[in-house]
Amino acid sequence: MSPRLLPLVNAGPHGSRSQMTCHYRCGNACDFPEPNASGNPHAATLIENAIQRRSLLKAGAAGAGALVVGGLLNPAPAAAATGLATVGRSDKLRRAHGIGAVDFQPVAPNVRDAVTVADGFEHRVVISWGDPVTRNAPPFDVNNQTPEAAAEQFGYNNDYVGVLPLDRKRALLVANHEYTDEQLMFPAGRYDDATIKKIALASHGMSVVMIERAGGDDSGAWRRSNPRQSRYNRRVTDQTEFEMTGPAAGDERLRTSADPSGRKVLGTFNNCAGGTTPWGTVLSGEENFNQYFGKSGSMDSRYTTSYARYGITGSGDRGWKDVDPRFDLTAEPHEPFRFGWIVEIDPYDPRSTPRKHTMLGRFKHEGANIQIASTGQAVAYMGDDERGDYIYKFVSRDAFDPRDNQAARKQNMALLSRGTLYVARFTDEDQGDAEYDGLGQWIALANDKESFVPGMSVSDVLIDTRLAADKMSPTRMDRPEDIEPNPATGKVYCALTNNSNRGSSSLPTDEANPIGTSMVRSKIGAPLTSKSGNRNGYVLEITEDANNAAAESFTWTLLLVCGDPEAPETYFAGYPKEKVSPISCPDNVTFDGLGNLWISTDGNQLGANDGLFRVPVEGPERGLVRQFLTVPIGAETCGPLISDDQRSVFVAVQHPGETDGATFETPSSTWPHTDSFPRPSVVVAYAKDSTTDRPERRPTP
């Protein structure tokens, strides 16, 4: 049976992202009302002692020079306790050269079916969908796919990319496989329906892959190692066992017929962004998990409110319940409570059981990134990627132990099980001044012992985090995606992708979400359109009070109001707009060793392919956005990462060719041009003068 054809949907809320992407990635979330019906007030009505707090902040700032900036405490993302040499973050920060310092001419917006990097750089594919991961993996054969083979090969639609050092020549690449696109993966008529579903299941999850320099020690080029020479390579699939940690582990709502303990879950799904921890593990966010659940009959009425708040409708049409009954809400009403978590995997220990951390709350997690506060506590920043949902942070109870030994690492591995979960409220200090800035509060929801939300227990807060947050008047944001602290300054940056509903009566604009209607005119030929909502997104900058990441208050400013620089509403931190690259729909962020922000995009509204951009956030070039690379037709740029030695830029090219009407037989992209169909792949870009061998000719199946 062929994969089913997509239903026709209104183009409106989907922006420039294809209907296929919306269907497969998030179950057409934008076709449904926002799940957040809390009606939480917007910023202007929530001015609370703003002036007093501003005075306190200024007093705190005067003494801030004496404080340790949170991120500077971060050690190597470590081979800590592995006994392996590594280039540490402190080295990274001292480096005055590398990719962050290189001047390059911006790549012009384009619609090429290629990865295009700035002049002076080149790139190569590191690994693609179907490439072998484990030593048992068979060669990829698109005409003879099996669920068993898929579970040993690199999964579909790579998203987050972590690169953890092993030694000077080798590293571990950790990738998320967010979702599958059955219309692009399978030749029509070749596979039966059940086989397609089982392969799709196995193609989700994560991969750990050893990579090696494709040249000398100073080469920025990397290639995948032979899996037979790696003891680390691993696939995490729908059959991999996870352990639940934290206060909600074992809760009645987490128990199923297969797991009466409520502590052991099979698989992780829709893993979007992530982060590498200071203790050398990888965090990954379970995002649009709701779409995978169907129903064979009625749904448990005890959970009507909770299901609705998470978009769990039982109409998930991936049909997984037909091949695995745990995806049937009628039979297993608790299974969806076992997803929507931050998961942690230790890539240095291939036999370790990955974990799901209930203390970090349950929502549509984009990802999580950690910095160590001046108090020593580990602080994780997290976005709930849905229109009108919230920004969260977690502060650990215990302090990070920076020592490089097994005992310290073991202790650090427990940090995410105990602490306090907060949600963010943004207020407008000046009530409508000309600048997009203001004050903010982290509102405590629960710690591991006590709930601060009336009428909800600690477990209630952690399992129904959206419902808990709704009661505390946080600020409804425009799809909070990747949020990450700058290791050079401790300031925190959040990509707010877009929100087609912003400016509607149910979701008015506010100072932190100021664009409700925009005029979008393409620079490269797309028609002039006038559309409602926040079409192009923002990058938000948060400065924690007294530069302490564990603080409960902060100041904020919009670093970027994205879009066509010629559009009046756009803003690039005050930098002259005629000198910046157009940027639209920021999604993922990362930093180089000089503290420059790198931003990848998802769903460029300006008529060109998505890309990766570098922007300084300090000094005279603050706001100077320059495009570093573009990705192929239909693709989104994911997982950007600058290597610790500052020589390599890794990006995940996700869903190449996922444009409406494209099929396996009639693809709109064939990137990376190894086959007649597209293959999502991880790419590394590096300066041309780094010594490399010639890119190997990739085998075709």
Give the footprint of ligand FEO on this chain (CB under 6 A): 178, 272, 287, 366, 385, 481
Task: Select 366 or 448, whichever has its Cβ closest to ligand FEO.
Answer: 366
Min dist. Cβ of residue 46 to ligand FEO (A): 26
**Backbone φ and ψ of 609, nearest 5°:** -65, 160
CA–CA gap between residue 322 and residue 4 (Å, rounded): 15
Task: Select 448 or 481, whichever has its Cβ closest to ligand FEO.
Answer: 481
Per-residue contact track with Ca ion, 431 to 470, x per CB under 5 A?
A: ----------------------------------------
What contacts 103, CB < 8 A, 6 or more positions away? none
Min dist. Cβ of residue 157 to ligand FEO (A): 10
Task: Select 385 or 592, whichever has its Cβ closest to ligand FEO.
Answer: 385
Task: Select 262 or 480, whichever has its Cβ closest to ligand FEO.
Answer: 480
Give the side-chain half-sphere CA count within 13 A for 302.
8
CA–CA gap between residue 642 and residue 102 (Å, rounded): 13
Task: Select 537 or 565, whichever has its Cβ closest to ligand FEO.
Answer: 537
Task: Select 140 or 650, whichever has its Cβ closest to ligand FEO.
Answer: 650
Task: Select 22 or 248, whichever has its Cβ closest to Ca ion.
Answer: 22
Task: Select 421 or 495, whichever has its Cβ closest to ligand FEO.
Answer: 495
Min dist. Cβ of residue 555 to ligand FEO (A): 26
Are 674 and 681 a contacting pair, CB within 8 Å?
A: no
429 binds, among ligand FEO, Ca ion, none (CB under 5 to 8 A by kind): none
Min dist. Cβ of residue 345 to ligand FEO (A): 18
Task: Select 429 or 610, whichever has its Cβ closest to Ca ion.
Answer: 610
287 binds, among Ca ion, ligand FEO, none (CB under 5 to 8 A by kind): ligand FEO
Per-residue contact track with Ca ion, 233 to 272, x per CB under 5 A?
A: ---------------------------------------x
Min dist. Cβ of residue 502 to ligand FEO (A): 16
Min dist. Cβ of residue 320 to ligand FEO (A): 19
CA–CA gap between residue 187 and residue 653 (Å, rounded): 22
Per-residue contact track with Ca ion, 464 to 503, x per CB under 5 A?
A: -----------------xx-x-------------------
Site for Ca ion contains 384 (CB under 5 A): no
590 binds, among ligand FEO, Ca ion, none (CB under 5 to 8 A by kind): Ca ion
Tokens of 253: 């709502």
Helices vs. strands in the chain: H and E counts, helices first: 10, 34
Tokens of 160: 């987050």
Tokens of 377: 């506590």
Tokens of 569: 């509403």
Task: Select 268 or 590, whichever has its Cβ closest to Ca ion.
Answer: 590
Spell out the SS3 assignment of 443-504.
EEEEECCCECCCCCCHHHHHHCHHHHHHCCCCCCEECEEEEEECCCCCCEEEEECCECCCCE
Site for Ca ion contains 544 (CB under 5 A): no
Site for Ca ion contains 637 (CB under 5 A): no
CA–CA gap between residue 545 and residue 626 (Å, rounded): 30
Site for Ca ion contains 602 (CB under 5 A): yes
Min dist. Cβ of residue 629 to Ca ion (A): 16
Task: Select 27 or 132, whichever has its Cβ closest to Ca ion.
Answer: 27
Q: DSSP assignment, residue 606?
A: S
Q: DSSP assignment, residue 274?
A: E
Per-residue contact track with Ca ion, 308 to 337, x per CB under 5 A?
A: ------------------------------
Q: What 3-state DSSP class applies to 416?
A: helix
CA–CA gap between residue 267 and residue 269 (Å, rounded): 7
> What is the residue type of 555?
T
**Backbone φ and ψ of 108, nearest 5°:** -75, 145
What contacts 69, CB < 8 A, 6 or more positions away? 374, 488, 489, 490, 547
Question: What are the DSSP calls for 167-198, one per residue?
Answer: SSSEEEEEEEE----HHHHS-TTSS-HHHHHH
Min dist. Cβ of residue 495 to ligand FEO (A): 9
Min dist. Cβ of residue 468 to ligand FEO (A): 21
34 binds, among ligand FEO, Ca ion, none (CB under 5 to 8 A by kind): none
Site for Ca ion contains 546 (CB under 5 A): no
Task: Select 183 or 497, whichever has its Cβ closest to Ca ion.
Answer: 497
Task: Select 116 or 176, whichever has its Cβ closest to ligand FEO.
Answer: 176
Q: Is 91 exposed, middle or buried (0-12, 13-18, 19+ CB in 10 A)?
A: middle
Tokens of 41: 């007030």
Are 560 and 580 a contacting pair, CB within 8 Å?
A: no
401 binds, among Ca ion, ligand FEO, none (CB under 5 to 8 A by kind): none
Is residue 614 within a helix (H) or strand (E), and if so which, with residue range? strand 611-615
Task: Select 140 or 392, whichever has its Cβ closest to ligand FEO.
Answer: 392
Are 583 and 601 a contacting pair, CB within 8 Å?
A: yes
Q: Is 56 exposed, middle or buried (0-12, 13-18, 19+ CB in 10 A)?
A: middle
Give the side-chain half-sphere CA count within 13 A for 622.
11
Residue in 432, 459, 433 with CA at minimum distance from that of residue 448: 459
182 binds, among ligand FEO, Ca ion, none (CB under 5 to 8 A by kind): none
545 binds, among Ca ion, ligand FEO, none (CB under 5 to 8 A by kind): none
Interacting residues with Ca ion between 571 and 600 (CB under 5 A): 587-588, 590
Min dist. Cβ of residue 481 to ligand FEO (A): 5
For residue 315, what are the β-bridge partners?
294
Omega cis (within 30) before 672: yes
The residue with its CB nearest to Ca ion is 602
Number of residues that bind Ca ion (CB under 5 A): 8
Task: Select 27 or 106, whichever has its Cβ closest to ligand FEO.
Answer: 27
Min dist. Cβ of residue 66 to ligand FEO (A): 38
131 binds, among Ca ion, ligand FEO, none (CB under 5 to 8 A by kind): none
Min dist. Cβ of residue 383 to Ca ion (A): 9
Min dist. Cβ of residue 89 to Ca ion (A): 15
Site for Ca ion contains 658 (CB under 5 A): no
Min dist. Cβ of residue 697 to ligand FEO (A): 33
What contacts 356, CB < 8 A, 6 or more positions away? 242, 243, 244, 245, 265, 268, 286, 338, 341, 342, 343
Q: Kindly report the CA angle at 480 between 475 and 486, in degrees rounded to 5?
A: 105
Min dist. Cβ of residue 149 to ligand FEO (A): 26
> Which residue has 């502590």 as its token pair?
263
644 binds, among Ca ion, ligand FEO, none (CB under 5 to 8 A by kind): none
Task: Select 551 or 597, whichever has its Cβ closest to Ca ion.
Answer: 597
Min dist. Cβ of residue 539 to ligand FEO (A): 15
Tokens of 537: 């997104």
User: What residues line the site for Ca ion (CB under 5 A)?
Assistant: 272, 481-482, 484, 587-588, 590, 602
